[in-house]
């Protein structure tokens, strides 16, 4: 499990770096399009390029947030439970979370395959499919991170 | 069972799951999918799993979220936010309670680059609390003013909650931003007046700090002139219509990186932290957004928003009475939920009601955000209080809540002002529409 966790963390960090790179790209592209607009020109297709680039950013940001346990939870009730019961709740919520994100990843994959290369952007005719697959990978990473968390919670529960 | 009954059962299950510690976005998504499955079919549930999440992510308008968060993170890691406090401290610090006033003014300034209330409280807390400790300020006043001042981050644009409100209600984010400016500035003035009154009644609460010469005060502008210009550019750009909110976010983030680089305030390592933190916060917001959009489809099928608005509108209460009830409910919900989750859960129900009662969507959005600001400093959750408690671990939580109390009273007057004088929020948006 240790190795699996390390690989997962590594993949998430690589993805987050890529997402951050695309975020920087979005920022620069928008600034360039504003500057060119001042001179009466437009950057063609910038709108659709941003819509594609933001997919990479958000897909991996979801995974990074899960890795850093940054998804918003309400722990005012659970924190008052005995430790063993807290571990049980953590197992239960991780199981639901991994199923939810896993189901979204499966649905995203199905749609990507179904739409195939025929779904393209309006201006540059860029296929959506690579970005749909990136989204699937991001969701899958989130699901796997919750799987690791669930296994850790089970281990914690048994050790108490 | 009727759709409404299923809807209410769904809500009860959602709150039960959240109480067990399920991430809020997941809870909303699971109930949404389960509800669609039960009420319509498995294929309907599948289509809501497959289509809305990607549409939420691949959306130009929503890109405003990570861009403004990035701008705030760059200002935060580069330490440029501290300069705003130093500027305010040089102008106000010599007055009784002056450093506390400067903290609030610094919060208002930082709020103009930050989309988050917590980041505002953390930034100002880190610089102002040690200074107030040095001057032997009363602990309750020192911590209370920074926790309350941090909440201004929601109202003064850019604001993550106003963005989410705009997305959910299809209201103009630009107009919402503009509408938040005057109420945000007034909120800061209300807090400063509160500090003035407290220190007038008991001068030992806030001893005077150093007095600076006029030249020193003017020169203090030099250290943060770029940041002030950037704030003006972003706000004026949205107000005048030079940029869309998404473009303003990009200009703000780009400008913050350029200015902090020129000043030598940011290096590669800090920039990496800013980008990764922006990714983390964006993931948090998108995680809730994805779940909320799935839940909203379920709510639409149950017809709960329509039925609730029909029912409440038929009650023998005047519209302002209903508004009072909504605001009270937000304060109560704020005891257990965070702002974004609260908004995503309730707006699909309350917004149709507000429209039915004839409220202006922009004005209503400002009021809702105002209620959430108050929720952020009320016990037992009061997230800003936890932020300040983390920075000042020697101050007990009860003292911080005690310090917040006078600011909550100021908040009530401020909210009443927005309710009874709507032009406080609507003056600027109306001016621009004419």
pLDDT tens per residue across span A43-100: 889 999 999 999 999 999 999 999 998 877 777 788 888 888 888 999 999 999 999 9
| CB B103, CB B82: distance < 8 Å | no
Instruction: Report in angstroms the alpha-carbon separations of B249 from A25, A50, B185, B191.
Output: 13, 13, 21, 28
Is B317:B134 a contact under the CB 8 Å cutoff? no
Cβ distance of A54 and B57 shorter than 8 Å: yes
User: Could you give the CA distance from residue B62 to residue B59 in angstroms, rounded to a whole number?
Assistant: 6
Residues of B with CB below 8 A from A139's CB? 53
**B106: closest CA among B120, B117, B119, B96?**
B120
Residues of A in contact with B287 (CB under 8 A): 62, 65, 71-72
* Residue A46 Cα, gap to closest chain B Cα (Å): 10
> Residue B31 burial (CB < 10 Å; 0-12/13-18/19+)?
buried
Sign of the four-CA dihedral B143, B148, B151, B152: negative
Specify the residue for token string 């991996």. A60
- Mean pLDDT, chain A, integer: 92
β-partners of residue A127 are: A120
**Contact B288/B28 with Cβ under 8 angstroms?**
yes
Enumerate the residues of chain A whose CB falls inside 8 A of the CB of residue B254: 27-28, 31
With contacts defined as CB-CB under 8 Å, which chain A residues touch B247?
30, 33-34
Is the ipTM higher than 0.85? The answer is: yes
Q: Cβ contact (<8 Å) for B282 and A97? A: no
Could you report the per-residue pLDDT of A108-132, keeping only the tens digit for each? 999 999 988 889 999 999 999 999 9
Cβ count within 10 A of residue B186: 16
What is the nearest CA distance from B191 to chain A, expressed in angstroms?
29
Instruction: Report chain B residues whose CB lies below 8 A from the CB of A66.
Output: 283
In B, which residues are within 8 Å of A135 by CB distance?
53-54, 57
Would the CB atoms of A68 and B280 count as touching at under 8 Å? yes
Inspect the interface and report whether the beta carbons of B287 and A65 lie closer than 8 Å: yes
Give the Å distances, CA to CA, from B76 to A20, B71, B79, B171, B204: 17, 9, 5, 29, 32
Tell me what pLDDT residue B330 has: 85
Q: Give A2→chain B minimum CA distance, Å.
A: 23
The answer to whether the CB atoms of A61 and B282 lie below 8 A apart is yes
Work out how many CB contacts closer than 8 A connect A with B.
Answer: 178
Question: Among candidates B185, B223, B222, B181, which has minimal Cα distance to B107?
Answer: B185
Nearest-Cα distance to chain A for B341, in Å, is: 8
Residues of A in contact with B238 (CB under 8 A): none
Give every residue of chain B whose pLDDT is below 50, as ranges.
none
Cβ neighbours of B157 (radius 10 Å): 28
Mutation choice for A interface testing from B279, B284, B339, B386 by most A CBs within 10 A: B279
Min distance A30 CA to chain B CA atoms (Å) = 6
| B contacts of A31 (beta carbons < 8 Å) | 250-251, 254
Q: Return d(Cα B278, Cα B53) in angstroms, integer.
A: 20
Q: How far apart are CA A21 and CA B68, in angstroms?
A: 16
pLDDT at residue number A156:
81
Nearest to B172, CA basis, from B362, B18, B421: B362
Mean pLDDT to the nearest integer, A134-145: 97
The sign one gets for the Cα dihedral B172, B57, B68, B156 is positive
> A97 and B22: CB-CB below 8 Å?
yes
Q: Could you say which of A33, A61, A90 has the minimum Cβ distance to residue B279?
A: A61
The answer to whether A70 and B118 have CB atoms below 8 angstroms apart is no
Tell me what pLDDT residue B115 has: 67
d(CA B32, CA B45): 8
| Minimum-distance CB partner of A108 among B23, B50, B283 | B50
Which residues on adjacent β-strands are paired with residue A120? A127
Q: Are B387 and B118 in contact (CB under 8 A)?
A: yes
Pure H helices in chain A: 2-38, 46-67, 83-115, 129-159
Q: Which is nearest to B361 in space by CA: B185, B178, B166?
A: B166
């Amino acid at each position: 499990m240790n190795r699996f966790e390390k690989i997962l963390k590594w993949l998430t960090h690589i993805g987050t770096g890529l997402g951050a790179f695309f975020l920087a790209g979005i920022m620069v592209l928008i600034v360039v399009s504003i500057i060119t607009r001042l001179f009466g020109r437009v950057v063609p297709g910038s709108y659709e390029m941003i819509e594609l680039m933001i997919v990479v950013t958000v897909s991996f940001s979801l995974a990074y947030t899960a890795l850093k346990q940054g998804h918003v939870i309400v722990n005012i009730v659970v924190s008052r439970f005995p430790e063993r019961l807290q571990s049980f709740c953590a197992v239960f919520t991780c199981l639901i979370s991994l199923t939810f994100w896993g189901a979204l990843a499966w649905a995203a994959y199905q749609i990507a395959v179904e739409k195939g290369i025929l779904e393209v952007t309006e201006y540059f005719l860029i296929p959506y499919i690579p970005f749909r697959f990136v989204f699937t990978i991001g969701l899958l990473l989130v699901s796997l991170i919750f799987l690791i968390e669930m296994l850790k919670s089970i281990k914690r529960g048994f050790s108490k | 069972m009727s759709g409404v009954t299923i809807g209410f059962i769904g809500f009860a299950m959602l709150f039960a799951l959240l109480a067990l510690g399920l991430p809020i976005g997941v809870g909303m998504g699971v109930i949404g999918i389960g509800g669609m499955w039960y009420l319509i079919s498995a294929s309907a549930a599948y289509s809501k799993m497959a289509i809305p999440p990607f549409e939420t992510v691949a959306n130009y308008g929503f890109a405003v979220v990570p861009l403004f968060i990035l701008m705030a993170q760059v200002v935060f890691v580069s330490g440029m936010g501290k300069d705003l406090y130093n500027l305010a401290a040089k102008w106000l610090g010599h007055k009784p309670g002056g450093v506390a006033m400067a903290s609030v003014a610094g919060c208002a300034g930082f709020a103009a680059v930050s989309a988050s209330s917590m980041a505002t409280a953390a930034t100002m807390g880190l610089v102002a609390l040690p200074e107030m400790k040095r001057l032997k300020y009363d602990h309750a006043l020192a911590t209370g003013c920074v926790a309350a001042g941090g909440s201004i981050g929601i109202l003064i644009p850019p604001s993550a909650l106003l963005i989410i409100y705009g997305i959910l209600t299809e209201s103009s984010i630009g107009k919402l931003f503009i509408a938040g400016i005057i109420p945000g500035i007034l909120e800061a003035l209300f807090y400063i007046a509160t500090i003035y009154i407290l220190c007038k009644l008991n001068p030992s609460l806030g001893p005077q700090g150093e007095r600076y010469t006029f030249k020193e005060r003017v020169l203090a502008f030099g250290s943060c002139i770029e940041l002030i210009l950037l704030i003006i550019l972003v706000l004026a750009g949205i107000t005048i219509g030079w940029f869309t909110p998404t473009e303003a976010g990009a200009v703000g983030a780009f400008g913050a990186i350029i200015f902090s680089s020129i000043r030598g305030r940011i290096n590669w390592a800090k920039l990496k932290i800013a980008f990764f933190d922006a990714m983390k916060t964006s993931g948090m917001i998108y995680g809730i957004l994805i779940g909320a959009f799935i839940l909203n489809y379920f709510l639409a099928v149950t017809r709960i928003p329509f039925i609730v608005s029909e029912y409440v509108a038929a009650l023998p209460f005047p519209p302002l009475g209903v508004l009072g009830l909504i605001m009270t409910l937000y304060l109560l919900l704020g005891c257990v939920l965070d702002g974004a989750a609260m908004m995503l859960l309730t707006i699909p129900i309350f917004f149709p009601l507000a429209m039915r009662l004839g409220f202006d969507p922009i004005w209503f959005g400002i009021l809702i955000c105002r209620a959430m600001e108050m929720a952020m400093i009320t016990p037992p959750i009061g997230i800003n209080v936890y932020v300040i408690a983390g920075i000042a671990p020697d101050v007990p939580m009860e003292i911080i809540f005690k310090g917040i109390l006078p600011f909550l009273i100021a908040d009530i007057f401020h909210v009443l002002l927005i309710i009874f004088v709507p032009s406080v929020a609507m003056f600027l948006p109306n001016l621009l529409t004419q």
